[in-house]
Homo-oligomer: A and B are copies of this chain.
Amino acid sequence: MSKNLTTRAEDYSKWYNELVVKADLAENSGVRGCMVIKPYGYAIWEKMQGELDRMFKETGHTNAYFPLFVPKSMFEAEEKNAEGFAKECAIVTHYRLTNDPEKKGKLIVDPEAKLEEELIVRPTSEAIIWSTYRGWVQSYRDLPLLINQWANVVRWEMRTRLFLRTAEFLWQEGHTAHATRVEAIEESERMMHVYADFVENFMAIPVVKGLKTESERFAGADETYCIEALMQDGKALQAGTSHFLGQNFAKAFDVKFTSKEGKLEHVWGTSWGVSTRLMGALVMTHSDDNGLVLPPNLAPIQVVIVPIYKTDEQFDAILEEVNKLVIALRKLNISVKFDNRDTHKPGFKFAEWELKGVPVRLAIGPKDLENGTYEVARRDTLSKEVVSKEGIEVYLQDLLETIQKDLFTRAVDYRTAHTTEVNSFEEFKDVLENKGGFVAAHWDGTAETEEKIKDATKATIRCIPLDRVDEVGKCVFTGLPSKGRVLFAKAY
């Protein structure tokens, strides 16, 4: 197949959009701002879900499901949260269609079926969940509540991009309730670490753990922990957030409990989420001008085998050989596909599986049969070698692990090379403009300066890294004193 993919150097943004569509991950739908996640893309999302779900359960969480709709009065109960999401809400106002009296076969909204109270399609579920928790919590014995939900949410975005910013997206949202402030902070930190562990070790994407500044915080939170990744074009991407909600939602929804000491107190809360946005991070971290590059942990197909033959006899001999290998690989839990289509040539198949990011490709032809070998090609390095069929299943198992590690290392190296300490605003602008990446700079700690830097450069403070070194310095913009560097970047 001919890939006709725009290169990253030509137009990174176009490369991304084309790749998502051509690799069968997702496409735009007939509904403004909403995407269709295609089977190949969804299979990757299912792998993410499976691993995250396992990690959530291992840390004591259970799943539940809360309504899609939030009545307006409930939505506005926590004022900051409501204010933060009010501008991007899809609103249900009616509950029935009726025949259009003017056009046969057409329907109109039935004006008599107007809801007494409008329903907001959840942009996030704190309101509906905390209004439910009120009935679930009486005593300290009912705490903690450690609940997660897999769901769709809607945020009416004006400019949308597949996976990165869509009107509807899929995510998980954890919502927990605790007896003490300390426990709730521990929980929000724990989930940030779970996310970092998942994104680094499963998706092979290195992240910086940190705190958001007040202006970048989740609406309704007292503190937002985040993990920030760096894409190949030097822009940052927020890969996950975990919020310490204080008692804000407990107060808005009157969720109280009797403590061990018999006192009536408000509950402490957290919420945390990652979304299909991670699919965008995956594409933009590892892929290249030939197409997707998938870390083996996330690849729906880890090994593809392409037969090279001219006669039926040759095909039969290859088939016999491949069948044995397929069984051996499946025993090792390696997902393998034998591409036996007779409608396409090997070259077409090579290009297609390259585009789709299958980590390892095996080719086998008559000469390999004679020699007892396979040709093994790595997607990440595009390198090839000839490998004996004896013990090849273990060789492939090791190779998949190597590729997973190498992808992470390569991404770490890229990030290291694109994280720059700067000490003046000139330098700041220069690095941002000509090199991109994270810019580690001193900042005076005020929202005002943050805003001014953003206006001047489009860069925002991605986070205050948790592992930052105490270092006396001067704000690059105002010269006022600072206690340590924060990470700036342009961001998705």
The dominant DSSP class at the A interface is mixed
Chain B: CB-nearest residue to A134: B30
> With an 8 A cutoff between CB atoms, is A469 at the interface?
no
Q: Are A67 and B119 in contact (CB under 8 A)?
A: no
C-beta contact mask, A20-51 vs B, less than 8 Å → 1, else 0? 00000001011100111111001101100000
C-beta contact mask, A433-449 vs B, less than 8 Å → 1, else 0? 00000000000000000
> With an 8 A cutoff between CB atoms, is A107 at the interface?
yes
> With an 8 A cutoff between CB atoms, is A461 at the interface?
no
Other than the given A36-B65, A76-B106, A121-B121, 16 more pairs (CB < 8 A) read: A29-B67, A30-B74, A31-B67, A31-B69, A37-B64, A39-B62, A68-B154, A76-B107, A82-B107, A87-B97, A89-B97, A91-B92, A91-B95, A92-B93, A151-B152, A152-B152
A269 CB to closest chain B CB, in angstroms? 17
Q: What interface size band does chain A fall in?
A: 35 or more
CB-CB under 8 A from A151, the residues of chain B are 152
> With an 8 A cutoff between CB atoms, is A322 at the interface?
no
Chain B: CB-nearest residue to A136: B38
Q: List 5 A-B contacts (CB under 8 A).
A: A30-B128, A31-B119, A90-B94, A91-B93, A93-B93
CB-CB under 8 A from A89, the residues of chain B are 95-97
A177 CB to closest chain B CB, in angstroms? 13
Contact of A156 with B37 at beta-carbon distance under 8 Å, contacts A69-B31, A119-B90, A170-B65 already known: no
Contact of A86 with B93 at beta-carbon distance under 8 Å, contacts A35-B67, A131-B30, A141-B343 already known: no
Q: Are B91 and A90 in contact (CB under 8 A)?
A: no
CB-CB under 8 A from A394, the residues of chain B are none
CB-CB under 8 A from A154, the residues of chain B are 68
CB within 8 A of A71: which of B31, B68, B70, B343? B31
> With an 8 A cutoff between CB atoms, is A388 at the interface?
no
A44 CB to closest chain B CB, in angstroms? 11
> With an 8 A cutoff between CB atoms, is A382 at the interface?
no
> With an 8 A cutoff between CB atoms, is A214 at the interface?
no
CB-CB under 8 A from A62, the residues of chain B are 39, 42-43
> With an 8 A cutoff between CB atoms, is A75 at the interface?
yes
CB within 8 Å of B: which A148-205 residues: 151-152, 154, 156, 168, 170
Q: Are A29 and B132 in contact (CB under 8 A)?
A: yes
C-beta contact mask, A71-106 vs B, less than 8 Å → 1, else 0? 110111001001000111111111111110000011
In the bound assembly, the distance between CA atoms of A119 and B132 in angstroms comes to 28
Q: Are A86 and B92 in contact (CB under 8 A)?
A: no
Q: Are B34 and A69 in contact (CB under 8 A)?
A: yes
In the bound assembly, the distance between CA atoms of A87 and B99 in angstroms comes to 10
CB within 8 A of A29: which of B30, B95, B128? B128
CB within 8 A of A92: which of B39, B87, B92? B92
> With an 8 A cutoff between CB atoms, is A491 at the interface?
no
Q: Are B92 and A96 in contact (CB under 8 A)?
A: no
> With an 8 A cutoff between CB atoms, is A63 at the interface?
yes
CB-CB under 8 A from A131, the residues of chain B are 29-30
In the bound assembly, the distance between CA atoms of A90 and B113 in angstroms comes to 10
> With an 8 A cutoff between CB atoms, is A283 at the interface?
no
CB within 8 A of A96: which of B37, B43, B74, B87? B87
CB-CB under 8 A from A90, the residues of chain B are 69, 92, 94-95, 119
> With an 8 A cutoff between CB atoms, is A120 at the interface?
yes
C-beta contact mask, A401-443 vs B, less than 8 Å → 1, else 0? 0000000000000000000000000000000000000000000
CB-CB under 8 A from A34, the residues of chain B are 67-69
CB-CB under 8 A from A156, the residues of chain B are 95-96
CB-CB under 8 A from A63, the residues of chain B are 39, 42-43, 46
Chain B: CB-nearest residue to A43: B62
In the bound assembly, the distance between CA atoms of A435 and B151 in angstroms comes to 43
Q: Are B132 and A66 in contact (CB under 8 A)?
A: no
In the bound assembly, the distance between CA atoms of A97 and B90 in angstroms comes to 9
> With an 8 A cutoff between CB atoms, is A264 at the interface?
no
Q: Are A71 and B106 in contact (CB under 8 A)?
A: no
A21 CB to closest chain B CB, in angstroms? 11
In the bound assembly, the distance between CA atoms of A72 and B343 in angstroms comes to 40
4 pairs of A and B residues whose beta carbons are closest in the complex: A34-B67, A39-B62, A86-B97, A37-B65
CB within 8 A of A109: which of B30, B67, B88, B93? B93
> With an 8 A cutoff between CB atoms, is A118 at the interface?
yes
